Amino acid sequence: MFFFRPAIPIVPIAIGIGIRPTEVDLLIGDPTKACTKLGWKCKYDLSALVKEMMQSDVKLMQKDQYLKDGGYISVNYFE
């Protein structure tokens, strides 16, 4: 069973400095160095990555609905 307290800040945020946004407008990566120097190989292709992300989102939405149906308040992950 899950219990949630009202949201209270754990780390104070200085007014005027701001915080990092939850999403960036453009994110570009190049795995070349990791592949050549570390021997890294990717585990997912794009379709497998999208599938896993969608399954995770669905699971979060189902959990939120379960908590709401039980009369609890849950964190909004989707903002």
> What is the value of pTM for the model shown?
0.48
pLDDT at site 59 = 92
pLDDT at site 51 = 95
Q: How many helices (H) and strands (E) does the chain have?
A: 2, 0
C-alpha to C-alpha distance for 2 and 46, rounded to whole angstroms: 34
Tens of pLDDT along 15-68?
Answer: 666 666 676 778 888 999 999 999 999 888 999 999 999 999 899 889 888 988
Domain ranges within the chain, ordered by starting residue: 43-79
Confidence check: pLDDT of 69 > 80: yes
CB-based contact 72:4 (threshold 8 Å): yes
